[in-house]
Amino acid sequence: MGETDVRRLDLESLVQFNNREVIVYLDESKKPAVGQGLNKPAEVTLLNIKCIDKKTGKQFTEGERVEKYKMMLKRKAEAQGAEFVSFDPVKGEWKFRSNILVPISSTMKTMMKLRVSSLC
């Protein structure tokens, strides 16, 4: 994956961090060619991705519900063309690898826009 020099990039206009979501190049007109800027392979870690019981608000950190939640995260990554790396249910960290940012639909502007429900 290598390093990316971001000193000349206007990160505030290119990257939007929301709760359980990161959006890169929401404005397609600002997206550079593949291999330029942030349009290159990356490993992304999303925080606050937790398996929470809808009724009690209790966080699950192991067991069948966590395994099902992990499988849902794998499917979401694959549906976006990304590779699932790991999920830490205790820390609430989900890691995945993205090769490049590509438009995927009118509602999902880039591959790195992945909205995740934290409810199991």
According to the model, what pLDDT value does residue 95 have? 93
According to the model, what pLDDT value does residue 120 have? 62
Positions in the chain short of pLDDT 50: 102-114
Nearest residue to 87 via CA among 56, 116, 53, 107:
116
The two three-digit tokens of residue 27, written as one number: 């404005």
According to the model, what pLDDT value does residue 92 have? 93
CATH code for the part of the protein at 11-98? 3.30.1610.10
According to the model, what pLDDT value does residue 110 have? 35
According to the model, what pLDDT value does residue 37 have? 85
According to the model, what pLDDT value does residue 94 have? 93
Question: What's the predicted TM-score (pTM) here?
Answer: 0.73
Residue spans per domain, the chain: 11-98
In this structure, what DSSP letter does residue 58 have?
A: P
